[in-house]
Amino acid sequence: MPEQPLTNVIEFDPEDEYRPEPEPEPAPPNWMDGSMRIGIHTSIAGGHLNALESAHKLGCNALQIFSTNPRMWAGGPSRVTEVDGAAFRARRAALGLGPLVIHANYLINLAAQQPMLRTRSIQAFHDELVRGIALGADFVVVHPGACGDCRPDQAARLAVESVKQAAKNLPPTSLRILLENTAGMGTALGARLEELGEVLHALRNLQVGACIDTAHLFAAGYDIKSEAGLASTLELIDRAIDLECVPVFHINDSKIPLGGRVDRHEHIGKGKIGQEAFRRFLTHPRLSSAAPEGLIGRAFLAETPIDDPGDDRRNVAALWEFAGLKDQAPEAAKGFSMLTAAAKKKVAQQVKSQKSASQARDRKMRATVAAADRGGRSSRPPRKSPAKPAKRKKG
Ligand SMILES: [Zn+2]
Ligand SMILES: [Zn+2]
């Protein structure tokens, strides 16, 4: 065998260089086909899968859920198992629902000054993101937080840091965080669109977007009821936030008049915003779910009350109707509602028994006060004079 020259072995051929295959561009999900995406917040009672079935039966092609009990810190298991996640993702794909939006727990305050509450909020929000990824959600919506005693600009900085911390150490994902505008109740951040825009700007590396709620806009003083008011509000959203960064709108009517700064949702078209304004909103070219003026896959989700069985179905139908797409709406299951007549009765009974318990407490309290007054004593502590502070005995 002839000896091979050594040079052949060590000679470098650029063709031999290892080049990894370029990452394939992920194909856009089926629901991003330029069709209007309409849905409602659906209940996960009995399991996450139930929310998908409800959305489907209500005539939705998109939905919002809570990933766990929204009013408890530990509302059930903090993780979604791989088996449950896979079953959920498969069923959602089969039903063609998208986007899937998760609304974060209401107790989370990312702007909390109090270190314990802030740590807890960051952890809870991190868990929301982890569950969102497991369920294959597209967006997690969270409120920017409340500032309490501190200045709004300080609170906004805290909120930014909290979001950054909560988003650390996540597996690679297409899940996006959306911050929601607020009605401005109490010391809530994010009622002013410029303020929300500043927080989003500080989080641009994380591609955080916005979810805009119509009831919150109206209660915060943005007159989306009038044509001119809608135009100027959309202009402001575009300037402060960029409409391209608003993939989700919460479509709620408001029980509260313009600028009332209280968050109370009403059925679509039945509140202070009204039918005409929702027609204008849902057919506005800049807000469409299609190119070139709109944003492909943009969703309009109701978070309306269910006072009577069928209110949920009727609100979804109203969204399709006001969008002018009644004919294209997925068919709802006849008579389906997340609230059944039996469940309504049960809730009414619970409210009644709570009421009578609190009335009994009030009666007892009034009787005690009256008895104390008859005895010549007041049930209230003696009034302190500001000039002479009452001395307290140490004991
Ligand atoms: Zn909302
Ligand atoms: Zn609200």
State in Å: Cα 24 to ligand 2 middle. 40
State in Å: Cα 325 to ligand 1 middle. 23
State in Å: Cα 247 to ligand 1 middle. 13
Is it the case that residue 39 has pLDDT exceeding 50? yes
Q: What is the mean pLDDT of residues 327-337?
A: 96
Ligand nearest to the CA of 104: 1
pLDDT in tens, 49-68: 999 999 999 999 999 999 99
Ligand nearest to the CA of 301: 1
Q: Within a 10 A sphere around the Cβ of 350, how many other Cβ atoms?
A: 10
Indicate the helix (H) or strand (E) that contains 212: strand 209-213
Q: What is the mean pLDDT of residues 375-390?
A: 44
Which CATH architecture does the domain made up of 37-344 adopt? Answer: Alpha-Beta Barrel (3.20)
State in Å: Cα 251 to ligand 2 middle. 10
State in Å: Cα 133 to ligand 1 middle. 21
What sections of the chain are H helices per DSSP? 6-10, 48-57, 82-95, 115-135, 152-166, 193-202, 214-219, 227-240, 275-282, 311-322, 341-374
- Domain extent listing, the chain: 37-344
pLDDT in tens, 178-224: 999 999 999 999 999 999 999 999 999 999 999 999 999 999 999 99
State in Å: Cα 93 to ligand 1 middle. 25
> Which distant-in-sequence residues (6+ apart) come within 8 Å of 80 by Cβ?
48, 67, 88, 131, 134, 135
Looking at every residue in the chain, the average pLDDT score rounds to 90
Ligand nearest to the CA of 255: 2
State in Å: Cα 304 to ligand 2 middle. 9
The rounded distance, in Å, linking the Cα atoms of 226 and 280 is 9
* Coil vs helix vs strand at 29: coil
Query: Please, which pLDDT band fits residue 363 given cuts at 50, 70 and 90?
Result: confident
pLDDT at 6: 52
* Global pTM value: 0.84
State in Å: Cα 386 to ligand 2 middle. 42
With the C-alpha atoms ordered 93, 97, 99, 104, is the resulting torsion angle positive or negative?
negative
* Nearest partner of 250 among 198, 181, 200, 185, judged by Cα: 181
pLDDT in tens, 230-281: 999 999 999 999 999 999 999 999 999 999 999 999 999 999 999 999 999 9
Is it the case that residue 382 has pLDDT exceeding 60? no
Ligand nearest to the CA of 179: 1
State in Å: Cα 180 to ligand 1 middle. 7
Burial of 242 (0-12, 13-18, 19+ CB in 10 A): middle
Indicate the helix (H) or strand (E) that contains 176: strand 176-180
pLDDT at 372: 67
Is it the case that residue 389 has pLDDT exceeding 50? no
The rounded distance, in Å, linking the Cα atoms of 47 and 331 is 24
* Nearest partner of 102 among 127, 120, 72, judged by Cα: 127
* Nearest partner of 225 among 200, 201, 196, 256, judged by Cα: 256
State in Å: Cα 265 to ligand 2 middle. 6
Ligand nearest to the CA of 216: 2
State in Å: Cα 250 to ligand 1 middle. 5
Q: How many CA atoms lie within 13 A of 330 on its CB side?
A: 21
Lowest mean pLDDT among 90-94, 230-234, 245-249, 366-370: 366-370
* Coil vs helix vs strand at 314: helix
Q: Euclidean distance between the first and final Cα of the chain, in Å?
A: 106
Ligand nearest to the CA of 264: 2
Ligand nearest to the CA of 262: 2
The rounded distance, in Å, linking the Cα atoms of 76 and 86 is 19
Is it the case that residue 3 has pLDDT exceeding 60? no
